[in-house]
């Protein structure tokens, strides 16, 4: 098993929490592993390669960038269903970096751990000098653009006792206040990633419009009205 294989295996063990029935809640793990894959892809961009990122540090930082949720869950501060849904704590990145340092101390070179730790701690600083921090920052923000953003939105709504309409209302409100335009400008260091975010956002908008259509049964009513209109026309012709 390679060094990175062991890192992935350890992270999976650390980031999966148990439900009340003892089953595995994969929500945080799926998010973190997705960010890690995205970060590794971003690291291969030509405009990023010239900055000489450390591949192991990129992977470790991406896998553990949200590990602070696990610490809060195990301490009883939050419920399992609040992971990735409630606002993060002020020490969120610090706890994630500490967990990464402790869990991977025997699995990665010291320099890779140092750079991964710096990346996690600097993620909330958009102008960070850490190239690994910039990469994970972009990968994490990209995850908020597109259809994948529906799952945490639905999870948040379920936790707060809200329905599907709340997701649609939030989308419309954010669009009205130019929220997404601002996010596109502020959320990415690398232009190729911003372009992908724009494409994902357009897809997401189409899906939200379809959800709104189905929620209001507008498609069904349109079909019924069309059929009724056709029936009326046939009746008129028979007369």
- pLDDT over 60 (residue 233): no
pLDDT score at 124 = 83
> What's the confidence (pLDDT) of residue 195?
97
According to the model, what pLDDT value does residue 126 have?
73
Mean pLDDT in residue range 88-115: 95
Mean model confidence pLDDT for the chain: 92
Q: Is pLDDT at 36 greater than 70 in this prediction?
A: yes
pLDDT over 90 at 104, yes or no: yes
Q: Given a cut of 70, is residue 206 above it in pLDDT? A: yes
On the question of pLDDT at 237 being above 60, the answer is no
Q: What is the mean pLDDT of residues 4-18?
A: 95
Rounded-to-integer distance, Cα 140 and Cα 36, Å:
9
Question: What confidence tens digit (pLDDT) does each residue in 13-29 have?
Answer: 999 999 989 899 999 99
* Nearest by Cα to 32 from 1, 53, 60: 60
Using the predicted structure, report yes or no on whether residue 235 has a pLDDT greater than 70: no
* pLDDT, tens digit (0-9, with 9 covering 90-100), for 145-183: 999 998 888 888 888 999 889 989 999 999 999 999 999
Residue 95 and residue 67 in contact, taking contact as beta carbons nearer than 8 Å: yes
Q: Whats the size of the chain, residue-wise?
A: 239
Query: For residues 153, 156, 162 and 165, what is the CA-based torsion angle, rounded to 10 degrees?
Result: -10
Give the integer Cα–Cα distance in Å for 127 and 228: 60
Number of CB atoms found within 10 A of residue 198's CB: 11
State the Cα torsion 85-33-127-130 to the nearest 10°.
140
Closest CA to 17 of 58, 65, 68: 68
Q: In sequence order, which residues have a C-beta less than 8 Å from that of residue 146 and are 6 or more positions away?
A: 197, 200, 201, 203, 204
What pLDDT score was predicted for residue 5?
Answer: 92
Three-state DSSP at 25 gives strand
Task: Please compute the mean of the pLDDT values over residues 181-191 and round it to a whole number.
Answer: 93
Domain boundaries, the chain: 1-140, 144-239
Tens of pLDDT, residue by residue over 106-133, are: 999 999 999 999 999 998 877 788 999 9
Q: DSSP labels for 152-166?
A: HHHHHHHHTT--HHH
Q: Per CATH, the architecture of 1-140 is what?
A: Orthogonal Bundle (1.10)
| Distance of alpha carbon 123 from alpha carbon 126, whole angstroms | 7
């Amino acid at each position: 098993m390679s060094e990175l294989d062991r890192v992935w295996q350890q992270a999976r063990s650390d980031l999966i929490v148990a439900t009340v029935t003892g089953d595995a809640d994969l929500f945080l793990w799926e998010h973190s592993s997705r960010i890690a894959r995205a970060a590794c892809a971003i690291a291969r961009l030509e405009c990023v390669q010239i900055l000489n990122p450390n591949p192991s540090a990129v992977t470790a930082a991406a896998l553990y960038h949200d590990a602070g949720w696990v610490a809060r869950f195990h301490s009883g501060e939050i419920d399992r269903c609040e992971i990735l849904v409630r606002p993060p704590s002020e020490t969120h990145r610090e706890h994630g970096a500490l967990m990464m340092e402790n869990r991977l101390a025997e699995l990665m070179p010291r320099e890779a751990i140092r750079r991964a730790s710096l990346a996690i701690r600097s993620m909330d600083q958009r102008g960070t000098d850490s190239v690994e921090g910039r990469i994970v920052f972009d990968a994490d923000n990209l995850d908020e653009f597109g259809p994948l953003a529906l799952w945490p939105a639905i999870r948040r709504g379920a936790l707060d006792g809200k329905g599907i309409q709340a997701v649609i209302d939030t989308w419309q409100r954010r669009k009205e206040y130019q929220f997404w335009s601002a996010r596109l400008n502020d959320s990415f260091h690398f232009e190729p990633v911003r372009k992908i975010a724009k494409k994902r956002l357009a897809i997401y908008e189409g899906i939200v419009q379809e959800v709104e259509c189905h929620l209001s049964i507008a498609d069904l009513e349109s079909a019924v009205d069309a059929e009724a209109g056709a029936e009326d026309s046939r009746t008129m012709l028979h007369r």
